Each structure stands twice: as C-alpha cells, then as structure tokens.
Structure 1
Amino acid sequence: MLTRRDLIVAAVTLSLAVTAIAVAQTTTRPLMQSRVFNWSGMKVSPTPTGERRQLFDTPTANLARFECHITTLNPGEAPHAGHKHPEEEMMIVKEGLVEAIQNGQTNLVEVGGIIFCASNEMHGLRNAGTNRATYFVFKWFPHDLGKEKP
C-alpha cells in the first residue's frame, strides 16, 4: 500500500526530473556573429562521393538554426537519395554541372546557378558532368519551424 510519504517522494522526484529535462532543452548555444569564412581555412572531410566542408550550424538572431556546408561530388555521384524536409534550402553551384531533380522535374544547373528547394518538396542533386562539381548549401530553420505548415 502506498503511504503519504511514498506519494510525496514520487511527486518531488517527478518534479525534479521534469525540471532537469526542461533546463537541458532550453540550454542555448551562442548566436553566430558576423565573420568571414576563407576557402583556405575550411576543413575538408572526405566522403564516399567526394568531400564536404562544414562551415556552420548554429542559431542566429533571427533563426533557431542556420546551416551552411559545401559539397564536392565526383563525376556521376549524388550526395544522398532524393528527400524532403521542413526547412527550406538553397544551393549555389561553384564549379561543374549539377543535375537538380525537384518534384520529378530535372534541370541542369551550371556554374553560378542557384537551386531553391521549398519546404517539404522532394529534391535531389547529382553531378552531371565529367569533372568534379562543387556547390554551397544554405539551410535555415525559423524558430517556429514545425509549428506551421505551408
């Protein structure tokens, strides 16, 4: 049989656990400040399909998260299968020829071309050229992402 003491201990324990979880979830990372990212200073990580340079993935004054990386693909390679996600995404082609597939439609994107992927729309990329292709990826996550659906 549960005693009054058992109920009080259980209530206090539950209260402390909920408080600890709330504190852990509200711990914020510092906001990104103005800065410069020089190509020569970027760390290059090899991938099975080419290489990747991770620049940042952090909150800003206006966004819950702002992420940027640079992908380099070997000829004929794709970084991953087509997919969709709630955040919007933009890619800018630095070198090579990229095939962009968006909602079943395929376009070739040349150097300087921009690819915008809207929220929750299928998309995928592939190096369509005979040389390496490199593109910048920008993804932004508003504070209310997931609370409203477009």
Structure 2
Amino acid sequence: MFKLKLGLAAGLALTCLSTAAAEPVQPSQIMTQAEAKAEKGDGYVFYSYFTKPTFGTQDALTGVAVIEPGNEIHPPHIHAEEEYLMVIEGEGVWSLKDKDIAAKAGDILYAAPWDSHGIRNTGKKPLKFVVMKWHSKGLPVPVDPAVKAKP
C-alpha cells in the first residue's frame, strides 16, 4: 500500500513538473513603472505590469491606472476572471452590480466572475488604483449566468 501511494505521489509530481515546464511562466522579478507598458487613453494612463501565466494563474493582468477628474477607463463591465481593485490616491465612485458606492484611497473592490464593476473619478485630483485579475489554472472558466444553456 505504501509503495502504491508513493508511486502515485511521484507520478503526480512528475506530471505537474512536466506541465509546468511545458508552459513558460512568469519568473519572480520586480518590474519598475518605467518598465511597465503604458497605454494612454482619453483622460487616463494605464500601466500594465505582469501579464504572463504563473504556476497557478492564466489570463492575468496586473497594473496601475491613473484617471483624470471626470473620467473613467471604460464603463462598468463584466468578465470571467476574478478581479481586485485598490484605490491608492484620489476619490471617485465604484460601480458594483449596478450600484454606485463612494471610493476613496485605501478602499478595495473584489469582483467575482460576471459581476458588473468599474470605477470613475469624480474628484478634483487624479485617481490612482491598482488592479489584479486572473483565472486560476485547473478550474473551469466560469459560465456567464446570463447565457442560457441550450437544451
């Protein structure tokens, strides 16, 4: 019995290692803002940092956004990935599941898959926030509840 368990554990470990080795993953590193890809839009700048798959994630995005007063990057939206947003400077309004809520420095929003969310700058100074979103490897992509299954 012990040999069977040991053999199963070794086989699982080799499978995991071979799978991990087959896909390039994000190495441990520090990225400066100067190294981040800057996307300038109408009333905002978005700095994209790490986007490669990691050992446990895919479809990842990490970044920092700076939104000028009276602007947003895009209207509230939905997607399959989980997402965290943290305001680090300024103030504005969160949109979460069609409700507007005041946003200020130190606040964090978590959006589950397919929940509508967003942020806009309603203050007088630039609003800066950090964003992290991803999909976990090994888990099925969540199905949008608005899409009805065909019989």
Among 50, 54, 62, the alignment partner of 1:68 is 62
Among 141, 147, 151, the alignment partner of 1:146 is 141
Once the two structures are superposed, residues 31-52 of structure 1 have per-residue CA deviations (whole angstroms, 9 ceiling, x without a partner) of 0121112335444332112111
Among 110, 113, 122, the alignment partner of 1:128 is 122
Query: Is the CA contact (8 Å cut-off) linking 1:58 and 1:65 kept in structure 2?
Result: yes
Q: Unaligned stretches of 5+ in structure 2?
A: 1-21, 146-151
Is 1:53 the equivalent of 2:54?
Answer: no
Offset at 1:82?
Answer: 1.4
Report the residue type matching 1:125 in the other structure. Answer: I
**Residues 147 and 39 from structure 1, CA distance in 2 versus in 1: closer, same or farther, beyond 3 angstroms?**
closer
User: Counterpart of 1:3?
Assistant: none
Q: How high is the TM-score relative to the length of structure 1?
A: 0.73
Distance 2:142 2:100 in 1: 31
Offset at 1:72?
Answer: 0.9
Query: Is the CA contact (8 Å cut-off) linking 1:46 and 1:52 kept in structure 2?
Result: yes
**% identical equivalent positions:** 24
Report the residue type matching 2:141 in the other structure. Answer: G
Query: Is the CA contact (8 Å cut-off) linking 2:44 and 2:72 kept in structure 1?
Result: no
Query: Is the CA contact (8 Å cut-off) linking 1:86 and 1:145 kept in structure 2?
Result: no
Q: Unaligned stretches of 5+ in structure 1?
A: 1-27
User: Counterpart of 2:81?
Assistant: 87
Report the residue type matching 2:91 in the other structure. Answer: L
Among 17, 28, 33, the alignment partner of 1:39 is 33
Q: How high is the TM-score relative to the length of structure 2?
A: 0.72
Let me know the Cα RMSD of the aligned residues. Answer: 2.1
